[in-house]
Chain A
Amino acid sequence: MHLYLLRHAEDRSGEHDPHQDRLTERGRRQAQAAAHWLAKRRPTELRTSVLPRARQTADIVAAHTGLVAREDPRLNEIVWASFEGELLPHPRENRLYPPPPGAESWHVFMTRVATCMSELCHQASEDQRIVLVTHSGFFDAVNELLCGGASRVELLVAHAGITHWQYRPGDSGGAWLLHQHNVTFAPQSLLDHEYMSAAELSA
């Protein structure tokens, strides 16, 4: 089973009209480039977080691949905000202790991610290529679940960045193969499908 984790494209932050397009113009172009790259991999399934910035990114992928986007709230970003507006510590430093009402601890979030991933593994077959449209926290949770190391490593993931994992049960080299991390597209080279890292892009 191949998993393509796709981070949502650039979005407008702050207050917004729910009917309005949530992605920025640049975000739409990022999503289109990612969708184009993904379509060439002939994905077999498309799942998305229910949050609008992911959902709208998934719609663009759906249009390019002919797949129907299935919503799965387990792909949502960690809920990490206080109603009272107090400043919270980084969730990965506050892993187990009860978060403020309505928020999720890192542990609870990881459990949600682990359940979603375990279910995929349970139903896995070799020819599956699944696109999961999600958020940066999900990339970190997957990495930490598979590799350990707690919060020693944080992953940089650009808007519409793609990370490609392969699940190979029983492979003595390792059940999980990381093919690529944070594949992104320079806006000027959208058509020749080059990709560069986020670090290169921001340099």
Chain B
Amino acid sequence: MRVLVTGGAGYVGSFTVRRLLAAGHDVVVVDNLSTGRREAVQRCRLHVVDILDIAGMGSVFEDFRPEAVIHFAALKSSEESLRDISTYFSVNLTGTQNVLTLCARTGVERFVFSSSCAVYGTPQICPVDESAPVRPESPYGETKYLCERMIASYAQATGMHYANLRYFNAAGAADDASLGEYAGSTATQLLPVAIRATLGLAPTLRIFGNDYPTTDGTALRDYIHVEDLAEAHVRVLEGLQEGSESGPVNLGRGRPVSVRELIDVLRDVSGKETPVFMAPRRPGDPGLSWAEPGLALRRFGWRAERALDHIVRTAWNWHTSAPASLE
């Protein structure tokens, strides 16, 4: 299948591209390299284009004539979106609309979108399933939900099959440490930030909130290995052609893990203590969030296979072998 991948040089995108190539698909990546890396997509064609540049995007679509699009390109920090709401609405909404316009124009048949557990927001009774009422708490979560609605409308008008994949917290790296996450000094993802502090590259790990009504007081999240996520994209993309119903699908392990637990596993893996500092809760941060992952299994035969210690071990190996990943 000819698959155009926006944001394919990014973290989840680059793992997905690898698997698409391994499954024999013909892949073209469009990425503005704002957070993505050229070296993460060495084995396929990369066009350095911004999704806001509809003319530039148009010529890629015209040349490649994709049958399917996987749309990763977006800005992804809830916290940053509170400070820079206009940029978030512009890149995430206008960018997505551009991609959809070109899909409609060139007759793309399948569309897979990176949505997020941020659409659920809080409060929610966990595990959340896809029919839970959505309550996004940040502009970021709001843009993801609005994109989902926009995709559903375009699909209804064009007959395109789609899946809005609601990822929980992506983490981990390749088993052989050949690919992983780039988390610069402004990153907020817990695992790389914790690894940074464990390596002494930051004074401490700030834990936001230890007064959540959870067993150890810290927030509960659902961490999923990036290889599992990548595998899900391939399964979903191929599964969509069988005419399954389109809509949102959770991608998570369905296991809540507290910040404390994650740090304990990191200690076991690294043999080092992580220096921590307790900070107040952050606005827009859900205290608990984990998935009911059953729909992805029933519909696409996918379930997450990699356990928490595997996530932590591969992330540790990657960041210690590729110090640039933390710069």
A residues at B contact (CB < 8 Å)? 74, 107, 110-119, 121-122, 142, 145-149, 169-170, 172, 174-175
- Determine the residue in chain B with the shortest Cβ distance to A116: B213
Residue B256 CB within 8 A of the other chain: yes
Tell me whether B133 and A148 are in contact (CB under 8 A): yes
- Which interface class (under 10, 10 to 19, 20 to 34, 35 or more) fits B? 10 to 19
B residues at A contact (CB < 8 Å)? 122-127, 129, 131-133, 212-214, 256, 287-288, 292, 294, 298
B residues within 8 A CB of A146? Answer: 125, 132
Cα distance A28–B127 in the bound complex, in angstroms:
37
A residues within 8 A CB of B294? Answer: 169-170, 172
Interface of A is mostly: helix
A-B contact list, 24 entries, CB within 8 Å: A74-B213, A107-B123, A110-B123, A111-B122, A111-B123, A113-B123, A114-B122, A114-B124, A114-B126, A115-B213, A115-B288, A116-B213, A118-B125, A118-B288, A121-B125, A121-B126, A122-B126, A146-B125, A146-B132, A147-B133, A148-B133, A169-B292, A175-B129, A175-B292
A residues within 8 A CB of B298? Answer: 172
Known: A111-B287, A118-B125, A142-B125. 16 other contacts (CB 8 A): A74-B213, A113-B123, A114-B124, A114-B288, A115-B288, A118-B124, A118-B126, A118-B288, A121-B125, A145-B123, A145-B124, A145-B125, A147-B133, A148-B132, A170-B294, A174-B131
Tell me whether B133 and A149 are in contact (CB under 8 A): yes
B residues within 8 A CB of A149? Answer: 133
Q: Given A112-B213, A115-B288, A148-B133: A169 and B122 within 8 A (CB)? A: no
Cα distance A113–B298 in the bound complex, in angstroms:
30
- Determine the residue in chain A with the shortest Cβ distance to B294: A170
- Determine the residue in chain B with the shortest Cβ distance to A145: B125
Cα distance A169–B122 in the bound complex, in angstroms:
20
The smallest beta-carbon distance between A7 and chain B, in angstroms, is 19
The smallest beta-carbon distance between A110 and chain B, in angstroms, is 5
Which single member of B123, B131, B256 contacts A122 (CB below 8 Å)?
B256
Cα distance A149–B125 in the bound complex, in angstroms:
15
- Determine the residue in chain A with the shortest Cβ distance to B298: A172
B residues within 8 A CB of A172? Answer: 294, 298
The smallest beta-carbon distance between A121 and chain B, in angstroms, is 7
- Determine the residue in chain A with the shortest Cβ distance to B135: A148
Cα distance A107–B129 in the bound complex, in angstroms:
21
Cα distance A116–B256 in the bound complex, in angstroms:
14
- Determine the residue in chain A with the shortest Cβ distance to B129: A175
